[in-house]
Structure 1
Amino acid sequence: MLTALLASLIALAVLSWSADRFVTGAAGLAQAFGLSRALVGLTLVAFGTSAPEVLVSATAALSGSSALGVANALGSNIANLGLVLALTLLWRPVPCPDHSRRQVLSACLLVTALAGVVLIDGHLTRTDGVVLLLGLATLALITWHRKTSPPQPPPSQRDRSRRHDLLLFLGGLVLLLISARTLVWGATEVARQMDVGEALIGLTLVALGTSLPELATCLAATRRGHGDLALGNVLGSNILNLLMVLPMPALLGPGALADPALLDRDYTTLVLLTLIMTFGMALAVRRPLGRGTGLALFGGYAVYLTVLWRSLMDAGV
């Protein structure tokens, strides 16, 4: 078990480091092709920080651990709201533009509801996976039509930057693949030897680990005064987790949910945290999204972790 635990910890570190490089390259390429900063946060940066969840979920499903993939998708979204966004808001309030409330927040609510429709019968089928991917394609088309084109740098500077960003993009992706596979192996080995359900491991160790890129990105963006990028990263990452991560176990390992608590406890928690965020953004009409919302989100996450801990104790670990 010590080997598996050590491999998991190393994989988490490599996963976070490589995701950061991947995000840097992806954001640089996006800006070179004329995307706004807010849109970069919602799309390319969100995609980069969601890449670990996608890879972990896919490799888990291929390894016969679909419960880990589902738990990772839900647990990562819960961590994004209750930990990443909460800590970001507790550190510094984030501006909440009108378009975020009307468009991005609406998309987040609709996608969360769609995930509930898919999960409510306790089964994941390939049809469910296709429905979620169709939702992703629809959202991508809408987002693409709303892109803006900021001024471009001189050709020589742009070409040199593109080469560097492409290297970061590809190198980060390779390391993401390797570290994600190692993380799934280590997490499932720890779960098996400790006699803990894979869903619980996915909701804690894996979900928290794969949310580290979002946390690092949001804190860095907020520190530099790019609150719109930070907020777009969290909302975009949550949307992509449900439309890209959740389809992986549905397409690669369809079947009944191994743990009913994934719907009763975890999806319900996700809905409640999403509603807290929605209420906070609705109030942030003339002022930034502030520490009150952050405290409420963090409090909800603390309660959730307490429930998970009791589940661990009930399992006799």
Structure 2
Amino acid sequence: MVYGIFIAAAFVVIMGAIYLNRFGDVISRKSALSGAAVGTFLIAGATSLPELTTSFTAVYIDNTDIAVGNMLGSNVFNLLIIASMDVVYRRKKLFQHASARDNVPTALIGLLFTLIIIIALINPGSIELFNVGVEMVLIFVMYAVYIKLSNSSEEEKEEEQVDKDYNLKTAIYGFIGASVVVFVAGSALSISGDRLATITGMNSSFVGSFLIAAATSLPEFVAVLAAIKMANYNMAIGSILGSNLFNLQILFLTDVMYQDSAILKAVHTSNMYIAILCVFMIVVVMFNLLRTKGTGNTWMYAAPSLLVTLVYFVVSYTIF
């Protein structure tokens, strides 16, 4: 019964998030919110809503490992999506057609944030501000500054796209409806995941970091696949890196909700291994973006991404 609920909730979350992304895109293009930065924020919020509801529900049922593991695991799974797509579509050489100037700064910020989280996990006796870890406050403030600086230096670029399926009013109602669906399904996903961990004896960190994280990250997989099909490799990579930064802001909000202490004090040490895996994967992404472009063997080109994919599954098996 628990397995059925978990699978059904995961399916509903995936479908709901796909429609959130679709309606959010229409709203960002057909309303006063059509600026590039605001539109990106709206879409990022839409695709991250499954992680938000899942982690908030995990805090409510007092399962901090699922709450934190879901966020870190989603970031890792997002990077796995890019790596696996780079292997599958190795002839297209995704990273050699993406802009290092646009994507490396975002990757660097994500790397810095993840290192801060690792330090907090290694040293759980961190300073707290109103029961929120100072490291999470630092990440939130740095993200706000990064967004401000990015917006001030970014030129507005609008693409004229006409959506024939939805008008603005329909998109707004659809976005609200899909949000409610994702909220309910994400809550069911957390509760059933918690029960699944109890019944099977699996580590809650594993359930949060891999099973639930994979389910809530599948909408990003659909979005990346669509971008690759359109040969927009910059968008494929940039959307994943940007989504990962946004996910860490959800972790800050999760810490605010968890009022017993700083949330990183209350989680299993296995979450640190997920964060370290994330650092490794970000470094490889940066390497792929910065390395000299060549026309060699496609398998040689895809070797770093293949390594990332293999390491992901080895770590998954080890934690399990």
Seq. identity, %: 20
Instruction: Provide structure 2 residue ranges, at least 5 long, that are not aligned to the other structure.
Output: none
Distance across 1 between alignment mates of 2:122 and 2:300: 32
Distance across 2 between alignment mates of 1:57 and 1:109: 22
Instruction: Single out whichever of 216-225 and 117-126 deviates more from structure 2.
Output: 117-126
After superposition, the CA RMSD in angstroms is 2.8
Name the CA shift for 1:240/1:175 in 2 (closer, same or farther; >3 Å): same
Letter of the 2:172 partner, please give it.
L
How far off is 1:169 after superposition?
A: 1.8
Asked if 2 retains the 8 angstrom alpha-carbon contact of 1:112 and 1:271, the reply is yes
Asked if 1 retains the 8 angstrom alpha-carbon contact of 2:110 and 2:244, the reply is yes
Instruction: Single out whichever of 107-116 and 61-70 deviates more from structure 2.
Output: 107-116
2:270 alignment counterpart: 261
- State how 1:74-113 maps to structure 2 within 5 Å: 74-82=72-80, 84-90=81-87, 91=89, 92-94=92-94, 95-113=97-115
Name the CA shift for 1:305/1:88 in 2 (closer, same or farther; >3 Å): closer
Distance across 2 between alignment mates of 1:171 and 1:248: 23
1:183 aligns with 2:202: no
How far off is 1:293 after superposition?
A: 6.3
Instruction: Single out whichever of 180-189 and 222-231 deviates more from structure 2.
Output: 222-231
How far off is 1:307 after superposition?
A: 3.5
State how many pairs are aligned: 300
Runs of 4+ in structure 1 over 6 Å off: 151-154
Distance across 2 between alignment mates of 1:310 and 1:105: 26
Distance across 1 between alignment mates of 2:26 and 2:300: 34
1:250 aligns with 2:255: yes
Letter of the 1:27 partner, please give it.
D
Corresponding residue SS for 2:268: coil
Distance across 1 between alignment mates of 2:9 and 2:301: 32
- CA-to-aligned-CA distance 1:2-53 (integer Å, 9 cap, x gap): x1111110111110111011111212222334434xx689543333222211
Asked if 2 retains the 8 angstrom alpha-carbon contact of 1:20 and 1:213, the reply is yes
Corresponding residue SS for 2:35: coil
How far off is 1:149 after superposition?
A: 4.6
- CA-to-aligned-CA distance 1:162-206 (integer Å, 9 cap, x gap): 223223321221111011000001100010111222111111210
Distance across 2 between alignment mates of 1:78 and 1:283: 22
Distance across 2 between alignment mates of 1:63 and 1:184: 9
Distance across 2 between alignment mates of 1:99 and 1:186: 42
TM-score (norm 2): 0.83
- CA-to-aligned-CA distance 1:74-104 (integer Å, 9 cap, x gap): 111111112x102322224332124324533
